[in-house]
Structure formats: structure tokens, C-alpha cells
Structure 1
Amino acid sequence: MKKGQSALEYLVTYGWAILAIVIIAAVLWGFGIFDPSKWTENRGSGGFSAITIVDYTVGAGNSVTMVVGNKVGRTIMLTSCETPVNLTVTATDTQCVQVGVPAGNQLNIVLNYTDLTSGLTHSETGFVKYSG
């Protein structure tokens, strides 16, 4: 009788644990936690260390407009943007690049800037991709 009782207690204890896990999983599923579209983006950017892409948009004709942020900690001035497409791009401190990017492609960008405190020039390489 002892073996039967301990086996039953074992099953009941683990049964409650499994039931709790199932209930928690159902609640998380109800909130959409397991929806992959909630966690993946149609667009992305990265690769930069001292500069961040705060926001960007793909407009008419698949032109990309970016808002660039400064993570250097000192005042910088963007001097140029380089892309693999044949463009002449002039950068200012408020606007950097408008180029054509077909849907599903990634645009590699080199941002050149000058640290106004030290006077040294730097180069940042990153990307912007759009799959919408």
C-alpha cells in the first residue's frame, strides 16, 4: 500500500505542476506572446557604434529618409554618407541620406563625421534594411 500511495502522490503533485504550466502557457498565448510577427520587424538597422538610427522611413519611390542620433557624448558634425549605389549625397546635421531601396533589400551605409571637440574624423559603417 505504501508504494501505491507514494505513486499516487507523485502523479497528483506533478499533475498540478503540469496544469499550472498549461494555464500559464494559455494565458501567454492569449496575450499574443507567441505571435512571431509581434517580435520581428519588417525593417531594421544596425552596425553603428557611435551613431544610432533613431528612426527611418521608406517613402515614395522606395526613398529612405533617416534621423541620425549621436551616441558619442560630444558634439559631432556629419560630413558625408557613402552607399554602394552610385549617388552623390551631401550630409547636414539634420538630414543625411535619401536613396532608393527596393523592398527586401539592405542598404549598407558609411557615415563619416568629425568630432568637433577633438577635430578628428571618424567613419561608421552600418545598414538599413526594409522587407515590407
Structure 2
Amino acid sequence: MSVNFYPNLLTYQSTSQLGKMVTQNMVPKGKFYRFNRESSYSLDFYAKRITPEVKISDLDDLQKGTWIFTNKDGYNELKNNKVSFKLLKAFPKFHVTALDLQFLYNKTRKEKLEEEYLVELL
């Protein structure tokens, strides 16, 4: 069970998926931040760095092309503050340590998922 189940389960851990993406795309330090989102050990582990937090007031100081990882509230705050960005990817998010039957059942899984977002500043 663990050979197939647990690796597939991690596709619902947004932070591990994003950390791998940051590493694969060789995103330089200073071009990747988190906004309105708590720190994450799995993100830092897979990205091979500590991901700094950025505040809304500091976004104007960042270079175009900077990647920002945020949650739904942060995504809406970026839009409401007219920050120029494009959505690179929406990640499904589930606390994989909190498995329940509703998540395990494919037909009800979406009800348990949240989304987190990777955006690129323009």
C-alpha cells in the first residue's frame, strides 16, 4: 500500500509540490517568496531553502518575474490591491496528516481540498 498510496497522497501537499517545482526550475534566491501564508517545513525542504515572507507594502520593490506563493486570502488581497501578476499554478491543498474517509473517497475528495496559488509578478 505505501509504495503507491503515500507518493500519490503527497500530490495533495501543495508545499512539497511547489518546493520541487522551485528546485526543478532553479528559481534563484530573492525571486521566490510566500505571502499571507505561514512558513512550511516541507516547502523549505523541497525548495532547499528557507522561503522568506513578503508583505504587501514590499511587493513594489521586487523584480518582475518573482514568484509568490499564497493562499486564497492572499490571492484575493493581491487582486484587490491591483498587484500586476499572472497565475502560474493553482495547487490542491490537503493536510495529509489529517486523512479522513471523505478525502479518501474520490467522489467527495474535492470537498476537502483547498487551493493555494503560485503567481509571478509582472
TM range (shorter): under 0.3
Q: Which has the higher helix share?
A: 2
Q: Which has the higher strand share?
A: 1
Q: State the structure with more CA Rg.
A: 1
TM-score (norm 2): 0.27
